[in-house]
Amino acid sequence: MNKNEKAGYDRREFLLGSTAIAGATAAGALLPSGTALAQQGKLKVGLMLPYTGTFAQLGVAITNGFKLAIEEHGGKFGGREIEYVTVDDESNPAKAPENVNKLVQRDKVDVVIGTVHSGVVMGMAKVLKESGTLWINPNGGAGAMTGAACAPNFFRTSFSNWQTTHALGKVLKARGHKNAVFITWKYAAGEEMMEGFKEGFEKEGGKLTKELYVPFPQVEFQALLTEIASIKPDAVVAFFAGGGAAKFLKDYQAAGLKGKIPLYGSGFLTDGVLEAVGDAGEGVETTLHYADGLDTKKDKAFRLAYAKTFKLQPDVYAVQGYDAGQLLAAGLAAVKGNVSDKVGVIKAMEAAKIDSPRGTWTLSKAHNPVQDMYLRKVVGKENKVQGVAWKALADPARGCKA
């Protein structure tokens, strides 16, 4: 019921959005002289990312990655220098439309890059659909952005929540697990990851015995761990992130479940927290579009350059920011920096093959990465790659009529 309604909306919304773009491009085509002028100035890039609060670290990693990509292009995209406008979105969805408006209307940026929090992504989508501004999302995995609410000017260089757990079904099947329990926070991202896993696992003949939810953003897991112990599933699949993930891994071990019921998860469960959890993460297997020890030329070069420039080790967020830069570079190179040729930019970006540290990926019709999902295993302080769990996994983009 709910889904049908959503799909209904989208149609209308998509039509609105696409007419806006069509209009813009028509105007661009009619005014070739104006484009020459536009090329003179700097390209305005609006970064709308969290620089304060819980996700501040992610905002910084994405910004660094993006800037590294630009640096590698000689500080220019399509021959144009870059001017940054930064807005701290505070990961506050209530302020999202207003914050993105700052970039679109006040600063008149050519492209918006953002953001981490999926509620803020939804707020941005509303404004950017109407304005038709080019938008590259370097993290927030809300399915709707490249699903029900998709639009020609929306691009994502990270993942959809669905993608990060879907491949786990195959993995669990291969391990001989017939049933599993999924545990996550009660909020949209958690529920979408649960759906992604459930679909993948059931297709393989597995059974999701129970969905367990912890009120967001609480970190008291004891009650549900006890419940898991009494259900005795073949496997547990989890999604938490940041401090919650660290605590969950520790609690799972302390409750004696570790080693008795194998733990799997969306890659974020073990990303950025391994230093914090000691040996509690050891052996946990997750799927994600990036991993440690990929050992490709591109990845090595990227890691080296990143570490040298920022005195920090890169993570998956830095990769996503870096790829946002690469995707934009591809789009602008095709139109020689003439960003007002929106159709040209979009076409070029759609066709781009991104040579990413995570491996080469392309965009789906709905503009979400079609990418390999790696199976990773925690070894020491690293999420060591074990192989590819799903080759070129594409988000189903349900409800997207693009």
Residues within window 114-173 making contact with another protein, judged by CB under 8 A? 118-119, 122-123, 126-127, 142, 144
Residues 12-41 within binding reach of another protein (CB under 8 A): 12-13
From the CB of 357, what's the least distance to another protein, in Å?
A: 21
From the CB of 263, what's the least distance to another protein, in Å?
A: 13
With CB under 8 A as the contact rule, the residue among 246, 269, 346, 375 that binds another protein is 246
With CB under 8 A as the contact rule, the residue among 35, 86, 179, 362 that binds another protein is 86
With CB under 8 A as the contact rule, the residue among 92, 179, 362, 386 that binds another protein is 92
204 sits near another protein (criterion: CB under 8 A)? no
Helices 56-72, 297-310: axis angle to 10 degrees equals 110
Which residue's CB is nearer to another protein, number 106 or number 391? 106
Site string for another protein, 257-296 (x = CB under 8 A): x--xx----------xx-xxxx------------------
240 sits near another protein (criterion: CB under 8 A)? no
3-state SS, residue 219: coil
Chain CA centroid to CA 203, Å: 24
Q: Which residues contact 161 (CB under 8 A, 6 or more apart)?
A: 118, 141, 142, 143, 188, 189, 192, 193, 196, 266
254 sits near another protein (criterion: CB under 8 A)? yes
Residues 55-84 within binding reach of another protein (CB under 8 A): 56-57, 60
How many CB atoms neighbour CB 173 within 10 A?
Answer: 16
242 sits near another protein (criterion: CB under 8 A)? yes
With CB under 8 A as the contact rule, the residue among 52, 309, 313, 360 that binds another protein is 52
98 sits near another protein (criterion: CB under 8 A)? yes
With CB under 8 A as the contact rule, the residue among 208, 212, 294, 345 that binds another protein is 212
With CB under 8 A as the contact rule, the residue among 21, 25, 51, 62 that binds another protein is 51
Q: Please, what sign has the CA dihedral across residues 229, 232, 235, 239? A: negative
With CB under 8 A as the contact rule, the residue among 54, 179, 296, 362 that binds another protein is 54
Residues 155/140, Cβ–Cβ less than 8 Å: no
From the CB of 120, what's the least distance to another protein, in Å?
A: 9
Which residue's CB is nearer to another protein, number 106 or number 203? 106
With CB under 8 A as the contact rule, the residue among 38, 72, 73, 102 that binds another protein is 102
Chain CA centroid to CA 287, Å: 14
Which residue's CB is nearer to another protein, number 85 or number 305? 85
DSSP strands (E only) in 249-395: 263-266, 285-288, 354-356, 359-363, 369-379, 382-393
3-state SS, residue 161: helix
> Among all chains, which residue has been given the structure tokens 């501004």?
133
223 sits near another protein (criterion: CB under 8 A)? yes
181 sits near another protein (criterion: CB under 8 A)? no
Helices 2-30, 342-351: axis angle to 10 degrees equals 120
Distance CA 383, CA 393 (A): 20
Distance CA 384, CA 248 (A): 20
Strand partners, 375: 287, 387
Distance CA 12, CA 49 (A): 29
